[in-house]
Amino acid sequence: QIVCASQSTVLAVAFVDESQLVAGYDNSDIHRWKIEDGQQLGPTMQTGRRVYSIAVSQDGRWIVSGDDGRKATAWNADTHEKVRHAEYRNSVYNTTDNIRLFDIASGTELLPPISHHYVVGVKFSPDGSRFATVSRDSGVRIYSTHDGKVLFDSGTRGLTNSFAVTPLAWSSDGQQLFVASKGKITSFNTSDSSSSERPIHENKSSVSIASNGKFIACSAGSSVSLWDCMSHRRIGSIITHAAGISCIALSPSGGYLACGGSN
């Protein structure tokens, strides 16, 4: 176990590769950490507002943060310099124009704004051809990255009733989409639109999930359970922490699990 200590609460975490991870904090800082010894790499990135989400591009060139200032910021992963940012006209929880797709290199908006009420999560498919959104009251939708067309709409199935940091995960082949909510994970088969549910280890706290495509890590309260993507069976024993867990991430190979929380 490696501890990357800070005086602030970790609200978002993502792996750069098998040796580094990035964490976003409630004091507006973003740190990149070396897994081997827990030492910080490079200068601190600062958004000026509380950081709620972190993502790293598949090629490792870009770090993207989302904050409570209604702003998404792209950072150069090597230099930690701010490349560009996109500001939202309204909250992502609003009814209209709350999903927007941008080109990182140019900053060009690639699609007209898309509306999905009370969206609390968005996730690209492994091949990038689709992206999924999940709402607190309008279920799950899958869109074409090419033209924004709705490819799947769950209706009232798959509502997420928790403010999960990461409520969505895909299987490695892109045929299954997993949605976390209090007490359960719902799995959608994207080829035939069928769905199934499985109870998780804790049913009172908000849930976050992360996946490397082969298995899923699911955090609730101060504990984490692991699940096989194909069989939907739990793997091993439950991992318990002394403090509450606010966010989780899996490294690309599944060799490491990162859990973020207070300090």
Query: Tens of pLDDT along 191-226?
Result: 888 888 888 888 778 788 999 888 899 998 889 999
Task: Output the pLDDT for position 90.
Answer: 55
Residues 259, 250 contacting (CB under 8 angstroms): no
Whether the CA torsion 125, 85, 56, 62 is positive or negative: it is positive
Task: Output the pLDDT for position 107.
Answer: 82
Residues 97, 89 contacting (CB under 8 angstroms): yes
What letter does residue 89 receive in the DSSP assignment?
S
* Residue 89 in this model has a pLDDT that exceeds 70: no
The DSSP element (H or E) to which 84 belongs, if any, is strand 82-87
Edge-to-edge strand list for the sheet holding 140-144? 119-124, 130-135, 140-144, 150-153
Instruction: Judge: domain 115-262, CATH 3.40.50.150.
Output: no
Alpha helices (runs of H) in 121-195, residue ranges in sequence order:
none
Task: Output the pLDDT for position 65.
Answer: 93
In whole angstroms, give the CA distance from residue 75 to residue 258. 21
Residue 151 vs residues 25, 28, 110, 129, 180: alpha-carbon distances, Å: 35, 36, 18, 11, 21
Task: Output the pLDDT for position 96.
Answer: 63
Residues 51, 29 contacting (CB under 8 angstroms): yes
Mean pLDDT for the chain?
A: 86
* Residue 115 in this model has a pLDDT that exceeds 70: yes
Determine which of 40-49, 82-91, 244-253 has the lowest per-residue pLDDT on average. Answer: 82-91
Task: Output the pLDDT for position 92.
Answer: 47
Global pTM reads 0.86
Four-way CATH pick for 1-93: 3.40.50.970, 1.10.3720.10, 2.40.128.630, 3.40.190.10 = 2.40.128.630
- Residue 227's Cβ-side half-sphere holds a number of Cα atoms within 13 Å equal to 28
* Residue 151 in this model has a pLDDT that exceeds 50: yes
